[in-house]
Structure 1
Amino acid sequence: MIQIQAIPAFQDNYIWLLSEDSSQHCLVVDPGDAVVVKEALQKQGLELSGILITHHHWDHTNGIEALTKDRNIPVYGPDNPDILGVTHILKESDALNILNTQFEIITTPGHTLDHIAFFARPKQSDPILFCGDTLFSAGCGRLFEGSAEQMQNSFYKLRALPENTRIYCTHEYTLANLAFAQVVEPENHSIEDYRNRVNQLREQNRPSLPSSLKLEMTINPFLRTDQNSVITAVKEHAPETVLSNDADVFGALRQWKDHF
């Protein structure tokens, strides 16, 4: 059975560490900092046997060189020559078998053009999704390279996953995202309930993650662009904006969040 734990890095990043009960082998997802990964490996007596990369930003990739320098291990990532050290390039619907679990690749452009996510259905466990900076709890990544239409299409893919999928994103942005979500949907009491739970976790210095797709469909405005409450809020905030489809709502919502 896969065990997943968060390695805090920088100000608000999480590097996810995957291991098995029956083995000392492990993987890490988006290791922007090699030092904290090495400390976790040493403390737990684990042997790094692979690295998963979702996109090219430095806080997700800077640790690759140091972690692979003395290890002959695979590095799985998107097709982007700016990511130094990737040994296995992945594209939509590719599959890889690691830690006795099959992972499916989902391309999720929007935050960056090269962004991918890793989805799996482990035995004796809920499905899991490592989505980098595409989907955050109660939010989404900024549109640095892609368009609102691309990001909306990426969200359509994620919305189609099983509702019990556990969401492992790579930043602790939940409280800030919930503050925005409450402004968008002030009558959505699920947002307030979740915000209270997250406040308790953060007061104990515990991660707010993983979330679940079922929860996110209830409280995340970027997954709710087809809901009248969200559409109405966007129209009231930016009445001059033409909202012809979900992507228009998504783009206007993201612009609102950018200046929130």
Structure 2
Amino acid sequence: MPLDIVTVPCLKDNYAYIVNGPDGIALIDAPEAKPLINVLEHRGWVPDVIMLTHHHNDHTAGVAELCEQYGCKVMGPAAEADKLPELDMALEPGFCGGTDDGLVEVIAVPGHTLGHVAYHYPEAGVMFTGDSLMAFGCGRIFEGTPEMMWDSLQTLAALNPMAIVCSGHEYGAANAAFAQTIEPNNPALISRVHMITAARAKGQPTAQVPLSMELQTNPFLRASQPAVKKAIGMEGASDLEVFTEIRARKDKF
């Protein structure tokens, strides 16, 4: 059974995901309950589990109401168990569970928060990255270090380039504008910006794209590229130093 994935807009610019697969129905993050309940009720689905990527309230605020309504279990990173809603299962990086397209791997992606995890479905070719790897960008480094975030992005970048990256916010337009300040002459970036502009004009989400597209256009993933180093005047710098500079520029953008 292939995965049936529904993208659910929540709050101002968050996304949650409903994943219906061979092992049942999972919610990836729960920013608020009502939009998720509306989709679930419309489809006649009952969630079995909520899988949290990290502890920030804009990814967890709907957990209590959803659990009360459906009796679903809650999973999340063990490293943040003290900051999350009560967990039925605290997940360690490296944990694998599920069958066929529902097989999921828990990947540590610290940086935005110290215990942040991503959920990778290798057989289905999809990853849910929360506020780590995002469309054209990466999450702000609130708790970790630039080195942590760079290592996390490198871990994700090494996965199947055909896998779809599903991130936690609709930041495509803003991140695209910043990316153009780093590589204004990148043909793949220019093409993608046009796609983003057209999609947002129609109210369509832009936070779900192949990893290959991120590798071609995301300045945070491209800090090791000579063209990027030259563009920002850091030809002799390490990859980490370049990433750190790009992240600092984005924080001020």
Give the TM-score normalised by structure 2: 0.93
Structure 2 residue 8 is the aligned partner of structure 1 residue 7: yes
Counterpart residue number, 2:195: 197
Counterpart residue number, 2:167: 169
> Percent of aligned pairs with the same residue?
32
Structure-to-structure mapping, 1:37-56, within 5 angstroms? 37-56=36-55
Which has the larger displacement, 2-11 or 98-107?
98-107
Q: Evaluate the alpha carbon distance shift between residue 85 and residue 177 of structure 1 in structure 2; reply closer, same or farther with a 3 A threshold.
A: same
Counterpart residue number, 2:218: 220
Specify the SS of the correspondent of 1:217: helix
How far did residue 160 of structure 1 move?
A: 0.8
The gaps in structure 2 that reach 5 residues or longer are none
Structure 2 residue identity aligned to 1:29: I
Structure 2 residue 140 is the aligned partner of structure 1 residue 142: yes
How far did residue 32 of structure 1 move?
A: 1.1
Q: Any idea what the Cα deviations from partners look like across 1:192-223, whole Å, max 9, x if unmatched?
A: 10011111111111111311111100000100
Counterpart residue number, 1:19: 20
Structure 2 residue 240 is the aligned partner of structure 1 residue 257: no
Structure-to-structure mapping, 1:74-223, within 5 angstroms? 74-79=73-78, 80=80, 81-97=82-98, 101-122=102-123, 125=124, 127-223=125-221
Counterpart residue number, 2:29: 30
CA contact (8 A) 1:26 1:99 kept: no
Specify the SS of the correspondent of 1:235: coil
Structure 1 residue identity aligned to 2:239: D
Specify the SS of the correspondent of 2:104: strand
Counterpart residue number, 1:248: 241
Structure 2 residue identity aligned to 1:199: T
Alignment partners' CA distance in 1, 2:204 and 2:99: 27
Aligned residues: 250
How far did residue 139 of structure 1 move?
A: 0.6
Counterpart residue number, 2:230: 232
Q: Evaluate the alpha carbon distance shift between residue 52 and residue 208 of structure 1 in structure 2; reply closer, same or farther with a 3 A threshold.
A: same
Specify the SS of the correspondent of 1:218: helix
Structure 2 residue identity aligned to 1:58: N
Which has the larger displacement, 224-233 or 103-112?
224-233
How far did residue 70 of structure 1 move?
A: 4.2
Alignment partners' CA distance in 1, 2:127 and 2:252: 28
RMSD value over aligned CA atoms?
1.9
Alignment partners' CA distance in 2, 1:99 and 1:65: 30
Alignment partners' CA distance in 2, 1:39 and 1:180: 34
Alignment partners' CA distance in 2, 1:224 and 1:203: 28
Alignment partners' CA distance in 1, 2:148 and 2:207: 25
Q: Any idea what the Cα deviations from partners look like across 1:70-127, whole Å, max 9, x if unmatched?
A: 44322110121110122111122111217961101110000110100000123xx4x1
Alignment partners' CA distance in 2, 1:148 and 1:43: 42
Alignment partners' CA distance in 2, 1:217 and 1:86: 34
Structure 2 residue identity aligned to 1:187: N
Q: Evaluate the alpha carbon distance shift between residue 99 and residue 66 of structure 1 in structure 2; reply closer, same or farther with a 3 A threshold.
A: farther
Alignment partners' CA distance in 2, 1:106 and 1:191: 28
Give the TM-score normalised by structure 1: 0.91
CA contact (8 A) 2:31 2:59 kept: yes
